Amino acid sequence: MVKVLIVDDNDNNRLTLNLLLEEVEGIEVYEAEDGQIAVEMCAR
């Protein structure tokens, strides 16, 4: 399984990418609204 982290402060951009990626099998999508949250998610 491939994990993808979408990081963008714009809700519409995250939604658009998420909708596109959910069509692809084998991808697990995560979202973060800013860089600090993304770094914290990656550290876990």
* pLDDT tens string 1-44: 999 999 999 999 999 999 999 999 999 999 999 999 999 999 98
Structure-token pair, residue 40: 């914290």
Residue 25 is predicted with a pLDDT of: 95
pTM: 0.84
Residue 15 is predicted with a pLDDT of: 97
Residue 44 is predicted with a pLDDT of: 87
Report the distance separating Cα 35 and Cα 28, nearest Å. Answer: 19
Is residue 8 within 8 Å of residue 37, measured between CB atoms? no
Measured CA to CA in angstroms, residue 42 lies from 12, 16, 17, 22 at distances of: 22, 22, 19, 20
Residue 16 is predicted with a pLDDT of: 97
